Amino acid sequence: MRIMLKLVLDCDADAAWRALHSPRAIAELYGPLVDMAPMDAAGLPTRLAPGVDVPVALRLAGAVPLGQQLIHISERSARDERGPVRILRDSGIPLTGPLSALDVWDHQMAVSPAPGDDGKTLWRDRLVIGGAAAPALWPMLWATWQWRGARLRALAPTWAHDPASAPADPA
């Protein structure tokens, strides 16, 4: 089963790519609905690096345990008719909680310059889930991905490396 998003975000593709590697930016996508906390005493890394396992605990509204998740990313590049596409894949797995009933968890996010506007990002997000529990969990995950899409749109302008400054007040 698949859940997909395709959005144009108000930031350039480099800023979106940096945000994909930021545990803080990823945690903000689900906040304040879901909190993501490190399971490692050293805390979360400042940047998610390919091949490194990052275990996190998830809580609904900071109070109700949702389970533990292992984040494991890899990267690749491709080309489409508009040019280069960078793809981040989280092939980590739910370790505990309701999502651990899934046999398949494959989350891929692709970023590229938006058609006709290099200052914006075309964001493509695909989650593939499988297993006997997938039909029961799909509606909850679909709703979560709609929330995620709204949060992506709201947060993307804050990802700029050098945010535009307001014009000086001449008075």
**CATH classification at residue 43:** 3.30.530.20
Look at residue 85 and tell me whether its pLDDT is greater than 70: yes
Look at residue 163 and tell me whether its pLDDT is greater than 80: no
Average pLDDT, the chain: 91
Q: How many domains does the chain have?
A: 1
Q: Which helix (H) or strand (E) holds 130?
A: strand 117-130
User: In this predicted model, what pLDDT tens digit does every residue of 34-73 receive, in sequence order?
Assistant: 899 999 999 999 999 999 999 999 998 888 999 999 999 9
Does any domain span residue 70? Answer: yes
Residue of 83, 82, 79, 58 lying closest to 68 (CA atoms): 58
Does any domain span residue 133? Answer: yes
88's tokens: 């981040």
Does any domain span residue 167? Answer: no
DSSP SS3 for 23: helix
Does any domain span residue 170? Answer: no
Under the banding of pLDDT at 50, 70 and 90, the label for residue 81 is: confident
Q: How far from 93 is each of 23, 39, 58, 85, 127, CA to CA, in Å?
A: 16, 14, 13, 25, 12
Does any domain span residue 164? Answer: no
Does any domain span residue 48? Answer: yes
Under the banding of pLDDT at 50, 70 and 90, the label for residue 4 is: very high
Asked whether the beta carbons of 39 and 68 are under 8 A apart, the reply is yes
Domain boundaries, position 45: 2-159
What is the predicted pLDDT for the residue at 117? 92
Does any domain span residue 165? Answer: no
